Every structure is written in structure tokens, then in C-alpha cells.
Amino acid sequence: MKINEVIEVDRKLDDVWALFQNVPELAMCLPGAELTEAKGDNVYAGNVSVKLGPMTAKFEGEATVASDVAARTGSVNGKGVDKRGGSVGQVKVAYALEQVGGRTRVTVDADVLLSGAAAQFGRTGLIKEMSSRLIGEFVSCLEAKLAASSNEEAAQVRAGDVKGFSLFFASLLAGIGRFFKRLFGSRS
């Protein structure tokens, strides 16, 4: 599944770039993510817990992070396994930062591949709805970290939880809304 997002952060490019290069701090802004080990050579171990409707999955695995300072771009390639549910998740993320006035535009292109029990939720639109909520929480956390008056204060800022059932119902309502738009939009 392809996920493309463009977000703007109300901070200067150099500040946002510096945060993107601090993987442990950045991981704190991803809801459900926990960095457990820096293995060296830009490889990190950790886990991501997500609640997909009635199912909770905890993907444990590794991610490799790369960046191009001159181009202000980077990538994250990760793979994890939910040992309890038997699902496997892979993600390839490319991001680019650019200055737009006094703000920074972040473009994220992700390719998410799920197999096992978690894959069924990718077909319902729940994953796309979840990604939108996660991106919103990520941006709020980024801005709070960047606005902190000290490193100690920034270290206390973490992403909030995004609840699975609220995502499930939001996705359901969004699907119903799209159905009615198509139904009534086709008559105009």
C-alpha cells in the first residue's frame, strides 16, 4: 500500500532537519513506536504497537536509516514481525524536507506491505485512516519538541496514543461518507 503525505511544520528547515537526524528523539514522535537499541551503522531495533480495529499487533524488528545532508532527503527501511498474531510488516519510507517561507515542508512517500492477520485491515481503508491520524500526531509532537525551551523539556515530549477503535469508527464513517458522495455525486 502506498501512502503519500505532505505536511508543513512551523519551524525553519535547519531545525527540522536536525531533529530528523536524531533518530531516538524522532522515534518518540511516532505513536506506538519504541526504539530498543542502536545497533550501529544506522541500524535500529525496536517495536511498533498498533491497534487495528479489534486487533492489536506488536511488530518487533529493525530499521535502517539513511540521509543525504546536501539534498535534505532520507529513507527508512524496516521490517517487523508480530510474533503473537503471525503478521509481518515491511515499510520503505522516503522523505524530503524543503524550506517554504518560514516553514518546512516534509514530503513522505511510504510503501507499506502487510501479510498475515494484519493484512485484512489494509483492504478496509483502516490503514490509510490510521496513517492520517498518526501523521497528525507526529506533526504535533515534532512542533512541541522544536518549541521546547531546553533539551530536557524536548526529551519529555512524546506522541500520544492513537486508539484503534476510534480509528475503526472513523474509517467506517469515512467509508460511508465516500459511498454517499459517489452515490449523490454521480447524479449531478
pLDDT digits (tens, 9 = 90+) for 45-59: 999 887 766 677 889
Cell triple for 182: 459517489
Query: What is the reported pLDDT for 180?
Result: 59
**Whether residue 175 has pLDDT greater than 70:** no
CATH 3.20.20.70 fits 2-185, yes or no: no
pLDDT at 76 over 90: yes
With CA atoms as reference, report the closest residue to 94 among 124, 64, 121, 57: 64
Provide the β-strand partners of residue 95.
Answer: 74, 108
Are 24 and 42 in contact by the 8 Å Cβ rule? The answer is: no
All residues at 6 or more sequence positions from 68 whose CB lies less than 8 Å from its CB, including other chains: 74
Q: What is the pLDDT of residue 39?
A: 96
State the angle between helix axes of 126-147 and 13-21 in degrees (0 to 180), rounded to the nearest 10: 110
| pLDDT tens digits, one per residue of 110-161 | 888 888 877 776 555 666 666 666 777 787 888 888 888 888 988 898 887 5
Q: How far apart are CA 12 and CA 1, in angstroms?
A: 31
Phi/psi at 34 (5° precision) = -140, 120
pLDDT for the residue numbered 164: 47
**Cα–Cα distance for residue pair 1/19, rounded to 1 Å:** 27
Which ranges of the chain does DSSP label H, i.e. alpha helix? 13-21, 23-27, 119-122, 126-147, 151-156, 164-185
DSSP letter assigned to residue 138: H
Q: Using CA atoms, how far apart are residues 137 and 33, in angstroms rounded to an integer?
A: 12
* C-beta atoms surrounding 35 within 10 Å: 17
